[in-house]
Amino acid sequence: MADFGGSQPGEFEGEVKAWLAENYPGELRAPSPITDPNAIWGGRAFAGSDDPQIRWMRAMAARGWTAPTWPTEYGGGGLGAEEAQILEQALISGGYRRPLASFGLWMLGPVLLEYATPAQKRAHLPGIVAGDIRWCQGYSEPGAGSDLAALRTRCEDAGDHWLINGQKVWTSYADQADWCFCLVRTDTAKKHEGISFVLIDMTTPGVETHPIRLISGESPFCETFFTDVKIPKDNLIGRVGGGWEIAKRLLQYERQNISGGFGAGGGAGGLAGDLGAIAARYIGVDATGALADGDLRGRITRNKMDTQALHLTIARLAAEARTGNGPNAATSIIKYAAATLAQERSELMIEAMGSQGLGWAGDGFKPDERLAARGWLRSKGNSIEGGTSEVNLNVVAKRVLGLPDLVPGA
């Protein structure tokens, strides 16, 4: 049963809509609002900022509505699933911008709620809800990609503190993050059981980050070095050697989150818009109105249909989850399907644009065209980040379909 605090669902919806309408900064209603594109991520860089996106974030955070279902004692909204759904719908239907985008909200927060001590929750959750602290994720290492548990960054017990030495890679936006949640090795004798989960303030002496330039020319990822970094004993979450369980749990949240971002919008870096209509502009149509390139038309249609099928599946799984039967095993296919379709789509996009889809820079190309080319390159990462498609398929085969492991030595 949802707890509406004495009020009825309809009444709650009315209150929510009225409050949103009253508190949404007017500047954000403009067709192209003037706001820093990074503001949505919050963090110390925006402390004291007057950016309208930040004011929106603060207003929502004050009610705990940046984290609607988290407990109020940690700054959350304390809403039930049904109320949170009403709020979510009101935000979408009202055309409101998201108040806060945050790895803290999507990934770290849920595992802190599950594994952290009350003191650790009090120390970190309110800053996430408020958008005061921007978090990054320190998981992959040069020698630990798909085989994440092979990670080697050392975390040694130095009496009154932990001492950390090692290197992380693909730490998204580490150069702009305030804190890092990190997997480290506390025991070199055991693989999975030797891993622990720690929180590191990025301003600690010995932490160094460098952005990595990608084939698309962007640098959303970093490599991060830890040299004799001292962190308080309290910054280890769960038990020593219990990090792998937390990591797996957190990866589930990450995969959910990554797949949510793909789709008709084109996935990370992709150009939005209807592929069929864009192709028709660049290629033209025949006398019957069909795209003049029949082969491309067929391939575009396959991609559009599969993408619609994916969206219908995401909606179906969400509806089923709301009936309370727990997460459906089918959620495990979403990330794989979303990545594949987003990559296909970004290739079809530049193919439709012909030579205009190959522009790197300059006035000879419209901004959309350059974005399509960069998006095509960026999309190559869709099937790598957050678990490769191959690892994804392994997981489906073993955990969902129950297919066996190889018999060693046979």
Taking the complex as a whole, how short is the minimal distance between the CB of residue 348 and other proteins, in angstroms?
A: 12
C-beta of 119 vs 407, nearer to other proteins: 407
Per-residue DSSP letters for 333-391? GHHHHHHHHHHHHHHHHHHHHGGGGG--SSTTS-HHHHHHHHHHHHGGGGGTTTS-HHH
Which residues contribute to the site for other proteins (CB under 8 A)?
274, 276-277, 279-280, 285, 289-291, 297-298, 300-302, 304-306, 308-310, 312-313, 315-316, 319-320, 323, 330, 333, 336-337, 390, 392-394, 396-398, 400-407, 410
For 53, 259, 352, the CA distances from 29, given in Å and listed in that order, are 11, 27, 33
Taking the complex as a whole, how short is the minimal distance between the CB of residue 275 and other proteins, in angstroms?
A: 9
Residue 54 CB burial class (10 angstroms; 0-12, 13-18, ≥19): buried
C-beta of 14 vs 298, nearer to other proteins: 298
The residue with tokens 């790598």 is: 384
Taking the complex as a whole, how short is the minimal distance between the CB of residue 344 and other proteins, in angstroms?
A: 14
Backbone dihedral region for residue 6 (phi beyond 0: left; psi -120 to 50: alpha; all else: beta): left
Taking the complex as a whole, how short is the minimal distance between the CB of residue 396 and other proteins, in angstroms?
A: 4
Contact 54, 100 (CB under 8 A): no
Point out the catalytic residue in the list 141, 223, 254, 344. 254
Q: Hey, CA dihedral for 123, 128, 131, 133, is it positive or negative?
A: positive
Annotation says 254 is catalytic: yes
Which residues on neighbouring strands pair with residue 172, listed in sequence order? 221
For 110, 181, 219, 394, the CA distances from 403, given in Å and listed in that order, are 30, 33, 39, 9
Contact 134, 174 (CB under 8 A): no
C-beta of 91 vs 279, nearer to other proteins: 279
C-beta of 21 vs 292, nearer to other proteins: 292
Taking the complex as a whole, how short is the minimal distance between the CB of residue 305 and other proteins, in angstroms?
A: 5
C-beta of 191 vs 304, nearer to other proteins: 304
By annotation, the residues acting in catalysis are 254
